[in-house]
Amino acid sequence: MSFASLGLIDPLLRNLQDLNYQTPTPVQAKAIPAVLNGKDVTAAAQTGTGKTAGFALPLLQRLVQHGPAVSSNRARVLVLVPTRELAEQVLQSFIEYGKGLDLRFLAAYGGVSINPQMMKLRKGVDVLVATPGRLLDLNRQNAVQFDQVQTLVLDEADRMLDLGFARELNAVFAALPMQRQTLLFSATFTDDIRTMAAGILRSPVNISVSPPNTTVSKIKQWVVTVDKKNKPDLFMHLVAQNNWEHALVFVKTRNGVDYLATVLNDAGYAVDTIHGDKPQPARLRALERFKSGEVNMLVATDVAARGLDIDDLPLVINVDLPIVAQDYVHRIGRTGRAGASGVAVSLVCADEAPLLAAIEALIQKTLPREEEPGFEAEHRVPQTSTTGELIKKPKKPKKPKVPQAAPGVKQASGQKPRPQGAEGKRKPAAQSQRAAAPGKGAQPSGTALTGANPFSTCGFGTNPFSTQKPRGKPASKPTNKPTNKPASKPAGKPAAGSRKPAAGSAGGRGKR
| pLDDT tens for each residue of 295-309 | 989 998 887 666 566
Tell me which of 192-196, 268-272, 506-510 is least confident: 506-510
- Segment 182-189 shows an average pLDDT of 83
Which DSSP state fits 94?
Answer: H
- What domains can you pick out in the chain, each with its CATH number? 4-208 (3.40.50.300), 219-391 (3.40.50.300)
pLDDT tens digits, 340-361: 678 899 999 999 999 999 999 8
Rounded CA gap, 160 and 337, in Å? 23
pLDDT tops 90 at residue 277: no
What percent of the chain stands above pLDDT 70? 71
Q: Is the pTM of this model over 0.85?
A: no
Q: Reduced to 3 states, what is the DSSP secondary structure of residue 369?
A: strand
- Rg of the chain over all Cα atoms, to the nearest angstrom: 34
Pick the more confident residue, 231 or 307. Answer: 231
For the chain, the maximum distance between any two Cα atoms, rounded to a whole number of angstroms, is 127
pLDDT tops 50 at residue 258: yes
Rounded CA gap, 127 and 106, in Å? 6
Find how far residue 81's CA is from the centre of its chain.
Answer: 18
Pick the more confident residue, 235 or 388. Answer: 235
First-to-last C-alpha distance (Å) of the chain: 123
**Amino acid identity for residue 487 in this structure:** A
Pick the more confident residue, 427 or 326. Answer: 326
Tell me which of 158-162, 299-303, 329-333 is least confident: 158-162
